Amino acid sequence: MLFSSSVFLFIFLPAVLLGHFLLRGQRARNLLLLAASLFFYAWGEPVYVLLMLFSICANYLLGRGIDAKRGRGIDAKRGRGRKALLVLAVVVDLGILFVFKYLNFTIENLNALLGLRIAPVKLSLPIGISFFTFQALSYCIDVYRGTAEVQRNLLDLGLYISFFPQLIAGPIVRYNTVAQQIRSRSVDAEGFQQGVKRFILGFAKKILLANNLSIAAEEAFSLAGTGELTTALAWLGSLSYSLQIYFDFSGYSDMAIGLGRMFGFRFEENFNYPYISRSVSEFWKRWHISLGRWFRDYIYFPLGGSRVSKAKLLRNLFAVWLFTGIWHGAAWQFIVWGLMYGLLVAFEKLSGVPGRLRTRAGRGLYAALTMLIVNAGWVLFGAESFAGALTQLGAMLGIHAAAPSALAGFLLRESWVFLAAGVLFSTPVVSRALAKLRAGREDKPLLILGETALYMLLLVLCVSYLAMGSHNPFIYFNF
Amino acid sequence: MKRFFSFRNLTALCFLLFLLVFFALGLKPFLREAYYALRWGDGTAQAEERFDEFLPGKEQWVTLNGGVQKLLGKREVNARYLLDNGQMTYIIPELDMSGIAANTAGLARALEERDIPFLYVNLLFKIDGEDKQLPAGVEDYSNENADRFLAILRERGVDCLDLREREKAEGLDHYSRFFPSDHHWKPETGLWAAGEVAAALRERDPSFSFDPAIFDLESYDCQTHEKALLGSCGRRVGTWYIAPDDLDVLTPKFETRLRFSVPSKDLLREGSFAETMLFPEILEQRDRMNSDSYDVYCGSVYDHLRIENLQGGSGKRLLVLDDSFSLVVVPFFSLAYAQVDYLDLRLWDGDLLAYIDETQPDAVLILYNPGALEDNNLNMFEFFR
């Protein structure tokens, strides 16, 4: 089930909200949310809900085991036992991920490399597997490190791993950030309203902007390799996709954060206007923040972070970016995409650019270059194949581009409003202006009425697109 | 609780009210569709699709969205295109015609072996190949596909009638012969097409004679139902985007006695043209989104429809393979012959050659519009199953 579906909006969400309000007590509410989350997952993945249940049970037992081996003082035997159980947790969680996501990719490459003929395994990718396995792993690591208490209630751990708002598109919630909230939280009127507003904003980002921007992007991706991709369309497609993926992904995150707040949870932010970044490193501090923090906490820091020799720093950076690439999908284009960022971040770390640039023009130029690189990176990311990505990147530079046609003009005329709105809303200009307007006037009836009208208008417009059966792509099938 | 129901929380309250109203209205259809999904193993995706079809206020939502799209100046909405002349259509990509042409030639050969005349009739598509009216940058290949398809058939000696050529030869205005909100043609165009096909048959074999009055518009009373038809394109974009069309219901001034039967539906009607061919109750339906006034002729598309002319017609018995464009051809074409069987291969799953051997028709015709020329068009070219 997707948030951007009428079944979710008109049946699932009101039913769960109603139940949550009618029930009293944290235990009952948690149980309801767990049952709802499993139903949410089973609705689209009836078989893979068993995988989810296995993941919950396995991590529960491993977490309990790791905690049981925690001793007072130094006890080498206990320490080794704990470590062994942690390794087992890593093997189980990453094993699940490997089998379902990377096994066929590995077979394909082994066949190509060694001339083997191993038949691929017929397995579809369980939706959201990269998110929930990373969450499960974070739980076991946090318990091992002692940064979070072990969860003694299987159902509460199940809720953490399967909670529907962040289940299929994140944010990746690290256990130690929500452990306390699972035990005890309250839903207040203000928080609920904030959640509603955030959900509607995310919904609008997804339905009004991302979906409409996807049309030109998909047209360009589909023409790459046919010899019909013009330079203009290659650019229009890449820019549309850059905006589409931002509004789609950040829209899902907003909806998840908003839904979380409606049920009393506070999730960390996942996006912070990444397209105003002045460097690649800054971009990744603003884009998919929860993934960046996960890799930072569980891979980069344990490897020594940046307080190591240059050689080790490079090793650490490339390890993180290699995993980042692979996490996004089992294909070479994602690995190349990740390593490209590894290279760029390493360059910035070692050279001190853009901090060392003295002039405003230089820094501005570097910021523009960053956005061009990010845009090119999205072509690599979104293309149907590595070859398709190279074709589109080539066409953007006029290499093997088709003769100009009127198609790009048509698509631009169709989508210019969404492109303009996309550019505007990918900067904090509007939110800052609105915050200024609201400052000190929060209780003014006119402002409350105006805000309500605006949010409801957005909601009504979104529903009209849903009812229309408009193009509504789901772009996280690789995750 | 008191704090929750305060003016400060107006946005949250409106949101909850909105959700709860639609929850109350949508729960029953949802449970029904979820039950079907479980009962028949349809899968939840199909249940969601069907729930979307019955979304409370669907027509109003689509109308609102169509209005927004119009405000934004969009020419492509929901895979339908607004032409320069204000009409709407869908478009067809460039497709390989060799497979379906080979199948059609194979059918022609099989019929030749049985000494049964065969005629492939290429109907009109909404887009005129010489005056496409599409927005710059949008290409439609329906007519080019049809040209290549017919060229292959003719090369293989298959008898073809291209109604596009007849339309041009007669100097008829193409677009006014279609419903602006639909990709289908008007009943008057269906009558014209029926006359052209009948004339082509007579030209090839004079024993396929008919009374010319059957295909003369003057022989019909016309009742215009204003704004009665929102075509398939219109239903996707709503009436704020494109206005509903007037629909003419033609009834012969001459006497008719027919039998209309659909074996798979146990549907049997006998009587005059109006009593058999017309389903006026369809015009009374208010749900424009889920009903099609075009079905006032024949009621619907069927797997197998048999029309018997109890007055005898020319005495000939025909078999016609057709698509939805025939809904407004069937009523008129059938008047010229003793019996016409219409098979829609998208729905009919019998053995065509066995059926032909069993019924021994005097001629077999295919009446397809260029938009149907697709390999994957739901078995329309799978003649030998």
pLDDT at A72: 53
pLDDT at A284: 97
Smallest CA-to-CA distance from A395 within A234, A176, A263, A260 is with A234
Position B196: which residue type?
E
pLDDT at A343: 96
Asked if B8 and A193 come within 8 Å (Cβ–Cβ), the reply is yes
Q: Which of A139, A163, A185 is the last residue of a domain?
A: A185
pLDDT beyond 60 at A64 = yes
Range of the domain at A215: 191-279+353-468
| A15 and A125 belong to one structural domain | yes
Q: In chain A, which residues have their Cβ closer than 8 Å to the Cβ of B29?
A: none
For A96-115, b/e burial (b = at least 16 CB within 10 A) is: bbeebbeebbebeeeeeeee
For B98-135, b/e burial (b = at least 16 CB within 10 A) is: eebbebbbebbebbeeeebbbbbbbbbbbbbbeebbbb
Per-residue pLDDT band for B69 (boundaries 50, 70, 90) equals: very high
DSSP 3-state of B272: coil
Residue B82: phi and psi, rounded to 5, are -90, 120
Smallest CA-to-CA distance from A2 within A131, A158, A168, A126 is with A168
Number of H helices, E strands in chain B: 12, 13
pLDDT average, residue stretch A214-238: 94
| Nearest-by-Cβ selection for B14 from A411, A452, A469 | A452
Asked if A443 and B16 come within 8 Å (Cβ–Cβ), the reply is no
Per-residue pLDDT band for B166 (boundaries 50, 70, 90) equals: very high
pLDDT beyond 80 at A74 = no
Task: Determine the residue of chain B that is closest to A463 in CA distance.
Answer: B61
Structural domain contains residue A290: no
| A131 and A242 belong to one structural domain | no
- The token duo for A316 is 């650490």
**Residues 72-91, chain B: which have Cβ within 8 Å of A?**
72-78
pLDDT at A75: 63
Q: Which of A156, A185, A214 is the last residue of a domain?
A: A185
Structural domain contains residue A127: yes
Note the pLDDT tens digit of each residue in A284-330.
Answer: 999 999 999 999 999 999 999 988 999 999 999 999 999 999 999 99
Task: Determine the residue of chain B that is closest to A465 in CA distance.
Answer: B65
pLDDT beyond 80 at A423 = yes
Note whether A317 and A344 are within 8 A (CB).
no
Residues A195, A203: Cα–Cα separation, whole Å: 12
Structural domain contains residue A217: yes
pLDDT beyond 60 at B1 = no
Asked if A459 and B18 come within 8 Å (Cβ–Cβ), the reply is yes
pLDDT beyond 80 at B289 = no
Q: In chain A, which residues have their Cβ closer than 8 Å to the Cβ of B138?
A: 407, 410
Residues B383, B326: Cα–Cα separation, whole Å: 19
| A266 and A414 belong to one structural domain | yes
Asked if B65 and A407 come within 8 Å (Cβ–Cβ), the reply is no
pLDDT beyond 90 at B49 = no
Asked if A9 and B22 come within 8 Å (Cβ–Cβ), the reply is yes
pLDDT at A225: 83
| A108 and A213 belong to one structural domain | no
Q: DSSP letter string over A5-71?
A: SHHIIIIIHHHHHHHHHH--SHHHHHHHHHHHHHHHHHHH-TTTHHHHHHHHHHHHHHHHHHHHT--
| A123 and A255 belong to one structural domain | no
* Interface residue of B5, B11, B83 to substitute, partner A, most A CBs within 10 Å: B11
pLDDT at B359: 95
Per-residue pLDDT band for B269 (boundaries 50, 70, 90) equals: very high
pLDDT at A77: 63
| A85 and A221 belong to one structural domain | no
- Closest Cα in chain B, distance from residue A304 (Å): 46
| A26 and A98 belong to one structural domain | yes
- Closest Cα in chain B, distance from residue A401 (Å): 17
Top pLDDT among A147 and B290 is at A147
Structural domain contains residue A64: yes
As for how many domains chain A has, the answer is 2
A400 is catalytic: no
pLDDT beyond 70 at B217 = yes
Distance of CA A426 to the CA centre of its chain: 17
pLDDT beyond 60 at A169 = yes
Note the pLDDT tens digit of each residue in B347-365.
Answer: 999 999 999 999 999 999 9
Position A452: which residue type?
T
- Closest Cα in chain A, distance from residue B282 (Å): 24
Asked if B9 and A13 come within 8 Å (Cβ–Cβ), the reply is no
For chain A, the distance separating the N- and C-terminal CA atoms, rounded to the nearest angstrom, is: 16
Burial class (CB in 10 A: 0-12, 13-18, 19+), B85: exposed
Asked if A193 and B20 come within 8 Å (Cβ–Cβ), the reply is no
pTM for the full predicted model: 0.90
Q: For every residue of B129-169, which 3-state class applies, written as one string?
A: CCECCCCCCCCCCHHHHHHHHHHHHHHCCCCEEEHHHHHHH
Note the pLDDT tens digit of each residue in B90-132.
Answer: 999 999 999 999 999 999 999 999 999 999 999 999 999 999 9
Task: Determine the residue of chain B that is closest to A258 in CA distance.
Answer: B12
pLDDT at A470: 73
Note the pLDDT tens digit of each residue in A437-468.
Answer: 988 888 899 999 999 999 999 999 999 999 88
Note whether A258 and A195 are within 8 A (CB).
yes
* Interface residue of A7, A228, A465 to substitute, partner B, most B CBs within 10 Å: A7
Smallest CA-to-CA distance from A272 within A290, A257, A254, A287 is with A287
pLDDT beyond 90 at B133 = yes
Residue B220: phi and psi, rounded to 5, are -125, 145
Residues A442, A428: Cα–Cα separation, whole Å: 20
Structural domain contains residue A345: no
Domain segments of chain B: what residues?
A: 1-56, 88-372
- Closest Cα in chain B, distance from residue A383 (Å): 22
ipTM at complex level: 0.92
Q: Which of A164, A185, A206 is the last residue of a domain?
A: A185
pLDDT beyond 90 at A377 = yes
pLDDT average, residue stretch A211-232: 93
DSSP 3-state of A151: coil
- Closest Cα in chain B, distance from residue A101 (Å): 23
| A203 and A254 belong to one structural domain | yes
- The token duo for B105 is 């030639």
Task: Determine the residue of chain A that is closest to B13 in CA distance.
Answer: A193
pLDDT beyond 70 at B12 = yes
Residue A367 neighbours by CB under 8 Å, 6+ apart: A277, A278, A279, A354
Asked if B55 and A467 come within 8 Å (Cβ–Cβ), the reply is yes
pLDDT at A272: 97
Note whether A363 and A278 are within 8 A (CB).
yes
- The token duo for A108 is 């394909």
Average pLDDT, chain A: 93
Structural domain contains residue A92: yes
- The token duo for B9 is 């929380």
Note whether B74 and A414 are within 8 A (CB).
yes
pLDDT average, residue stretch A138-144: 95
